[in-house]
Structure 1
Amino acid sequence: MSSFSSMLMSSSGSSVTSNPATGREKWEWGAREDWRFADMRRQYGKHWWWISFIAVYFSQQIFLMGICLPLYVVHSVNKPLNIWDLVAAGVCLCGIVIAYFADTQLHNFVTRNSKLKELGKPMVLNLDRGLWQYSRHPNYFGEQLWWWGLVIFAWNLGHGWTFVGSLINSMCLAYVTVLVEQRMLKQEYRAEAYRLYQKTTSVWVPWFRSSAIAVKDKDT
């Protein structure tokens, strides 16, 4: 069991390091600051450093320990593989694949818009192709599948309580989703298009898009 989960962890790590989205800054120190840090600094002024330490750095260590609890169980309990382990592995693998392609498509979209901006051409307002046609945040959905797949492993070993870490992580990611969408709506050039995108496309779980015409008729 432990070697099986280690293979999945290696696959997940490889998908992250080989993804072009992770190298978009070319690993240059300070090449780009995360917009959430910039907002935090503006909001809290001189107190931002210790607030960010607690809210971001320290809390993330707690979250990491929480979401990794299923791995502790997997490496501590010796039990033969069964059908539920295969289900868990399938969920984890689906999460890896979805997150990889979603991040790759997002990277290509951002890169293309950057080039269009440099050339003085109109940018594409929204990414609504590929996986992003069925979900507004397919990368988040893939990530959640991965962590909840690990929970299935632990549940099958009699330690279902380890879901707590993944649940808190999902709640935090839901909050991040709200922040991201609020930021998108603050960008005037794409606000109207993004509102329509919100009305026609699922937030996390991929699903078929609603008709834009039907949405407009409903609003009127």
Structure 2
Amino acid sequence: MGHSNVSNFVLAVTVPLPSLLFYLSFVQKCDGDRWENEYWTWVCDWGRLHPLYLVNVLFFLNVDILFWVVGLVQQNVWLIDPYWTIIPVLIAHFYSAYPAAQYDLLRSRAALLLIWIWSARLTYNYFRRELWQWGKREDWRFTDIRRKDPRNWWWKSFFVCFVSQHTFLVGITLPFYSIFTNARPWNAWDGLAFLVCLSGITIAHVADTQLHSFVARNNILKDLGAPTEPLLNRGLWHYSRHPNYFGEQLFWWGLSLFSVNLGQSWAVVGTAINSACLAYTTVLVERKMVQEPSRADVYRQYQKSTSVLIPWFNRSTLVKSKTS
């Protein structure tokens, strides 16, 4: 573990402390009807009535501003990537520990269990891909934007890398607001939502593991000077061009089902925005694939035969079965 890896680890552990310390103080000082001074009286009065506002304020100050400043100093916005796997857990516990929270115990425990499993899976996949290093690289999409307009990147990065992630992360965790502000008893729809979420996590994990094995195998072939495989079309990737994205979206829509069941369908808006963004990301990934000469032709054939997102029968397999 090199010096930069150690320093980036320390940085990653340190940056959320302002929000964590404030929130621990908030929970401790606002859990009751008597507050120690005028400042906390105002904070508790306002904060207890507006949990959504408070989570946005903390996110803006601690992520949008602080992470942005760190990115400018390091000239690398890597920090938002590992925190994508952690912030939803923090937000979920923010709502669960809220002084005015009310909820069904079984639904709340199930939801927290799900977000922890989701986070463990995504965190493991992130660091496995990054060879267990902190801050090795930033998202290739951010790097592309930086290269195209380096002069204006210092201010563009604030909106592209942090304000946008603010919208996505607070948006997709809105179901936790529903779960921890509604004590309606657990029912069959909650059970269905739980199973959908677990299915999404499982599909995403299997797909990412298959992708990791494919990349690792190609790296070995490259080191040996042997021809590499241009395309992964085995396993789940035989039935979908982006099964990892499908699993991820299935998880968040399953979580949104909790909100719908609680009569708060408005909370799905964040999931819808995230899905729209993922659709655009899918377009960017596929453009990148067909721009690489070594795989352009085979990937175009793959596009013709394989479902873009939802796993479905592969058309090339169907044609072979009909002609055999």
SS in structure 2 at match of 1:46 = coil
How far off its partner does 1:53 sit? 2.0
Give 2:210's aligned residue. Answer: 105
Q: For the residues of structure 1 that align with 2:129 and 2:247, how far apart are their CA atoms? A: 20
Unaligned runs of 5+ in 1: 216-220
1:59-74 → structure 2 map (5 Å cutoff): 59-74=164-179
TM-score, normalised relative to structure 2: 0.63
Paired-residue identity, %: 53
How far off its partner does 1:30 sit? 4.1
Q: In terms of Rg, which structure is larger?
A: 2
How far off its partner does 1:49 sit? 2.8
Change (3 A) 1:133 1:148: same
Question: Are positions 1:7 and 2:113 aligned together?
Answer: yes
How far off its partner does 1:88 sit? 0.5
Give 1:138's aligned residue. Answer: 243
Give 1:84's aligned residue. Answer: 189
Alignment deviations for residues 5-63 of structure 1 (CA, whole Å, 9 cap, x no partner): 111112212222344x5323233244334321221112222112321220121210121
Q: For the residues of structure 2 that align with 1:18 and 1:57, how far apart are their CA atoms? A: 23
Alignment deviations for residues 75-126 of structure 1 (CA, whole Å, 9 cap, x no partner): 1111111110011011100000001111111111111111111111111010
How far off its partner does 1:214 sit? 5.4
Q: For the residues of structure 2 that align with 1:174 and 1:30, how far apart are their CA atoms? A: 26
Answer whether contact 2:127 2:133 (CA < 8 A) is retained: no
Answer whether contact 1:196 1:212 (CA < 8 A) is retained: no
1:16-95 → structure 2 map (5 Å cutoff): 16-19=122-125, 22-95=127-200
Moved more, 154-163 or 25-34: 25-34
Give 1:153's aligned residue. Answer: 258
How far off its partner does 1:212 sit? 7.3
TM-score, normalised relative to structure 1: 0.92
Unaligned runs of 5+ in 2: 1-106
SS in structure 1 at match of 2:300 = helix
Q: For the residues of structure 2 that align with 1:49 and 1:184, how far apart are their CA atoms? A: 29
Moved more, 4-13 or 143-152: 4-13
Alignment deviations for residues 170-196 of structure 1 (CA, whole Å, 9 cap, x no partner): 000000000000000111000000000
Amino acid at match of 2:163: F
CA RMSD between the two structures: 1.7
Answer whether contact 1:136 1:202 (CA < 8 A) is retained: yes
